[in-house]
Chain A
Amino acid sequence: MELNCLGLRCPIPIIKLAQAIKEDLEVILLSDDPATEPDLEAWSRMTGHSFDKVGVAKYLVRR
């Protein structure tokens, strides 16, 4: 699944991601908010997910 959160401010991208990852094992997250990268780090640690940055404002998130 690809989740387009471009232009959305924190914490909306992480909230949408948390919903999307319930339905898919992998989600491509598009987000250009400056808080997204550090918050993906913290969210992954807190909820047991993992992610890779795969492009500009593009992240591959796994359950």
Chain B
Amino acid sequence: MGSVTGRFQSETPLHSAAAAFLADAFDRGWPDPAKITNESRRAAILQNEAKEIFASHFGVRLDQIRFLADPEIGFHLGISGLLSPESTLYYTAVDRSEVYAIAEDLQGERLDVAIDGLTEYPEGTTTDVLAWQTANGETGIRSQSPSNFGGRIFVDATASGSLLELPEKWHCALWNSRVWQGPAGLGVFAVADSSVWRNPLPHVDSAASSSNYSLPLAMASAIALEVSHREYQERQFALTAINAKIREFLRSEIPEVDVAGTLNTTLPHLLSFSFLYVDAQMLVNELDRRGFAIDSGSACNSSNMEPSHVLAAMGLLTHGNVRLTLHPQTTEEQIDQLLIALKEIVLELRN
């Protein structure tokens, strides 16, 4: 594992277990698993082994799993693939910008999300489609179950990985390998029932997801998932305690901070908070200078200079925003140092 000291950004280096396995994976996983030569059959076995690991961690069947070279295309495959001409597409105000782009194209109906993360889902008809996220990648807030929705459900599990189960009813689901310290450039896509899903891209076989992908990366990603899932399980209580400590520090040590959600409504390793009257760009730069890498949803940190649509939709403060991702390797000492630095910098910038 590369050093994660001071790293609280969502992306991490490839997990050391996957990195050690990568050369071997490329050695063995190069043949096309779909062909019928001996080498291809061996690759097909490797493909199945990788799929088995994903299937067992995600609680789906092996035959429901497909790999994608581009995780982002999975949003289009999943949502557009479930739609029929009479469908209404529902999505929430805190969905990812990929979902926004599709919904704007299809005149979807946006559902409000309250400051506590609550959303009212419509009942919908059987052909309506709901884009639903297990948890929000910015605030860490877990979504309520969409159990009252009567239509088809696309599950965006790209923020939670294997940490949250799929809802009881789901039709398509999407994961991103980066979330479990796997290699970039791999998405895992699942279709619950091929009879309600059609590939929305130009295709030869309407049931295939028509995406080329790298089998060696899928194999390495499966290893990363197995190891990092176990590390999360082992560190779950420690990470929850660290999260609680950060929340308590912000509440008692720094005035006028807007923290998203509560310990009970969020994933323990994701945390978003905003300091009133603080310029996020100066905050990010100063933290970076001191060796702490953090993310921010403030406008000055985005490519289009717009504030995070997630923070704005929930009524959370968009300036002075800090987004922390705690990794299994994150220690309490690192957090103590970060909190001291945060307090110093915020008080300095407010002066």
Contact = CB atoms under 8 A, between A and B. Distances in A.
Interface of A: 9-11, 14-15, 18, 33-35, 37-39, 41-43, 45-47
Interface in B269-303: 274, 276-279, 298-300
Which residue, A18, A39, A45, has most C-beta atoms of chain B within 10 A? Answer: A39
Given A38-B312, A42-B315, A11 B279 contact: yes
A38 B274 CA distance: 13
A47 B305 CA distance: 26
B226 to A, nearest CB: 41
Contacts of A33: 299
Contacts of B274: 42
Contacts of A47: 256, 276
Contacts of A39: 307, 317-319
A11 B256 contact: no
A42 B300 contact: no
Interface of B: 256, 258, 274, 276-279, 298-300, 305-307, 311-312, 315-320
Given A10-B299, A14-B277, 17 more contacts: A10-B307, A10-B319, A11-B276, A11-B278, A14-B319, A33-B299, A34-B305, A34-B306, A35-B319, A39-B317, A42-B258, A42-B274, A42-B317, A42-B318, A43-B276, A46-B276, A47-B256
A45 B274 CA distance: 14
Nearest to B256: A46
B271 to A, nearest CB: 17
6 contacts: A10-B307, A10-B319, A35-B318, A38-B312, A39-B318, A42-B317
A18 B277 contact: yes
Contact of B311 (A9, A38, A45): A38
A38 B300 contact: no
Contacts of A34: 299, 305-307
Contact of A11 (B258, B311, B312, B320): B320
User: Which 9 A-B pairs have CB atoms at the shortest separation, nearest pair first?
Assistant: A38-B312, A42-B317, A11-B319, A35-B307, A10-B319, A35-B299, A35-B318, A15-B277, A41-B315
A11 B307 contact: no
Contact of B315 (A10, A15, A45): A45
Contacts of A18: 277
A33 B277 CA distance: 15
A18 B276 CA distance: 10
Given A38-B311, A43-B276, A9 B316 contact: no
A33 B300 CA distance: 11
A43 B319 CA distance: 10
Contacts of A9: 299-300, 305
B299 A43 contact: no
Contacts of A45: 315
Contacts of B315: 38, 41-42, 45
Nearest to A19: B277
Contacts of A38: 307, 311-312, 315, 318
A41 B312 CA distance: 9
Contacts of A41: 315
A42 B316 contact: yes
Contacts of B316: 42
Contact of A10 (B256, B258, B318): B318
